[in-house]
Amino acid sequence: MNTHSDLKIDAKITASSGSTPKDAAAVILLKHDTDASNPEIFWARRSEKLAFLGGYHAFPGGQVDASDIETRVDNCSDVSTATMIACAARELFEELGVLVARGAERLTKGQLVSLLDDLESGRMSFPSLLEHFELYLDANDFKYVGRWLTPSFSPRRFDTWFFLVECPRKQVPNVIDGELESGEWSSARDAFERWRRSEVICVPPILHGLKTIATGLTDDLAERFLSIPQAHGEPTRCIEFHPGFICFPVRTNTLPPATHTNCYIVGTREVIIIDPASPFEEEQIALASCVDELIAEGRVIREIVLTHLHPDHVGGVNPLLAHLNGSVAVAAHRLTAEALDGSIRVDRFVEDGDVIDLDGDPALSLRAMHTPGHARGHLCFYEERTGGLITGDNIVGIGSVLINPPEGNMRDYMQSLERLRVLPNLTVLFGAHGPATANPLGKIEEYIAHRLVREANILAAVQDGVSLPAGIVARVYTDVHPKAHAMAERAVIAHLEKLETEGFVVCDQDGGYISKRKQQENK
């Protein structure tokens, strides 16, 4: 039944999952005296190591600090706005070394460096540093261009205020080691084109910012920024991580820390809908109206495609079919179709290697990969040109994957991960839960390594004479909350079955396991 476990409980993720979004600010930095008809902005790639949106392209920014409220901001009577301006200015200084403060033009480069050092080393807070050097912020230097909420499918959520800021003359942004890995000036148009070519991945507010600025620094610039409800804190439903890869998270009865399953709508003209997942009516209506909008824009629904049989992936198939008047086919692996027989009608079987060609600009070509392990009939879909991989429940962006025998099989799962690992040109993983993963190899290798460590520890426990799965859980899963131990036991059984197949352990009559070595010694 269940698809995910919180086997690998990340305290931070658990703490912030589903909680109130944290206040944050981001800066869209415009080049000084940039060409108003083709403006240049500074954007950066986030470090691949970051748990939140690692490898994504973004604007500098971050979470509000307790001291931000103390920063002097002139021409701003509203405390919240002043605090967020202070946050934006501080983050910009910390991440790029650019100080947008009145009076900063008097400082030499060396002084700026030592100021930054005072801040980074914690010797001085941002407000006291400004005060000490007789500097202050002016709200006129920070043009408010919207406030975006991270959708609730994400393990971490922010309420981010965006400010458009012109880089002061003579100051040069410089990516400082930390959250950002590299950055550059780019015309907003070129940056947007890079996204269109699927070379970068970014979240909706960044894309909206690039698109808006690409049209030029017109008088109605701020209005254009604020012309959509998402720029006023309305949650974004459609997340187009890559052109033609729309992620539409829907609320499902999945396992924590995940609360949503990602439905993917793939294609720029002809489209397939992967995993219409939600059993909840209001979520089904939201998805249906997104699909209707796409149809109104000229897209054609080819098929509904299922990654696998679990209820938190197929809960909305029949209502969506009904909404589309039964006019589209449902496709899935034969094993998935057999398991769903009687509840969902599958019209077409998808086998390993089958290709779904989707006409459009750009055209997309999805190759099906039969990747059992989490479920027998599990399918992934690989788009080789862009390097995008729909991973279903094999690799997810939040929580971890449960291998629950007999549907789950650890040996198959490890082989499936290995097949995914060696795909050429892999750039993004579109998992069934949480945000897309922009460091695919790192993620897959982490998954494999994590399982291998568990397996080694489980084998060691058996060799030490711990025989029953529950005992093995108590010894090996010390990093896991006791609440998750029942699920961990399923994973242990999956590992033991793998070890048995490979000849390392044998199962005795009582459901316990002993190591092969010990069995031979006893004979």
Site residues (vs Zn ion, CB under 5 A): 3, 310, 393
DSSP state letter for 437? B
**Is 175 within 8 Å of 60 (Cβ atoms)?**
no
Q: For residues 4 and 242, which CB has a smaller minimum distance to Zn ion in the complex?
A: 4
Q: For residues 95 and 312, which CB has a smaller minimum distance to Zn ion in the complex?
A: 312
User: Shortest approach of Zn ion to residue 366 CB, angstroms?
Assistant: 20
What is the DSSP pairing of strand 158-166 with strand 22-30? Answer: parallel
Neighbours of 67 (CB within 10 A): 17
User: Shortest approach of Zn ion to residue 276 CB, angstroms?
Assistant: 15
What is the Cα Rg of the chain in Å? Answer: 26
Please list, residue by residue across 447-478, b when 16 or more beta carbons sit within 10 angstroms of its beta carbon and e when fewer do: bbeebeebbebbbebbeeebbebebbbbebbe
Report which residue's Cβ sits closest to Zn ion.
3
DSSP state letter for 482? G
What is the DSSP pairing of strand 364-370 with strand 355-358? Answer: antiparallel
Neighbours of 362 (CB within 10 A): 18
Q: For residues 71 and 371, which CB has a smaller minimum distance to Zn ion in the complex?
A: 371
Q: For residues 230 and 252, which CB has a smaller minimum distance to Zn ion in the complex?
A: 252
User: Shortest approach of Zn ion to residue 374 CB, angstroms?
Assistant: 6
User: Shortest approach of Zn ion to residue 15 CB, angstroms?
Assistant: 25
Q: For residues 265 and 401, which CB has a smaller minimum distance to Zn ion in the complex?
A: 401
First-to-final CA distance of the chain: 41
Closest CA to 23 of 79, 100, 72: 79
Q: What is the dihedral of CA 281, 283, 289, 290, to 10 degrees?
A: -160
What is the DSSP pairing of strand 73-74 with strand 137-138? Answer: parallel
Q: For residues 313 and 411, which CB has a smaller minimum distance to Zn ion in the complex?
A: 313
User: Shortest approach of Zn ion to residue 435 CB, angstroms?
Assistant: 18
User: Shortest approach of Zn ion to residue 308 CB, angstroms?
Assistant: 6
Give the SS3 label for residue 260.
Answer: strand
Element (H, E) at 110: helix 109-120
Q: For residues 298 and 406, which CB has a smaller minimum distance to Zn ion in the complex?
A: 406
User: Shortest approach of Zn ion to residue 392 CB, angstroms?
Assistant: 7
Q: For residues 393 and 489, which CB has a smaller minimum distance to Zn ion in the complex?
A: 393
Q: For residues 225 and 430, which CB has a smaller minimum distance to Zn ion in the complex?
A: 430
Q: For residues 53 and 487, which CB has a smaller minimum distance to Zn ion in the complex?
A: 487
- CA angle, corner 235, sides to 229 and 239, nearest 5? 100
Q: For residues 3 and 515, which CB has a smaller minimum distance to Zn ion in the complex?
A: 3
β-pair partners for 184: 43
State yes or no: cis peptide before 362, omega within 30 of 0. Answer: yes
User: Shortest approach of Zn ion to residue 283 CB, angstroms?
Assistant: 18
User: Shortest approach of Zn ion to residue 360 CB, angstroms?
Assistant: 29
**Is 170 within 8 Å of 26 (Cβ atoms)?**
no
Q: Which pair of structure tokens corresponds to residue 144?
A: 């408010």
User: Shortest approach of Zn ion to residue 220 CB, angstroms?
Assistant: 47
> Cα separation of 185 and 252, whole Å?
41
- CA angle, corner 469, sides to 9 and 494, nearest 5? 75
Q: What is the dihedral of CA 220, 225, 230, 232, to 10 degrees?
A: -70
Neighbours of 296 (CB within 10 A): 8
Q: For residues 115 and 369, which CB has a smaller minimum distance to Zn ion in the complex?
A: 369
Q: Token pair 């405390």 is at which residue?
A: 79
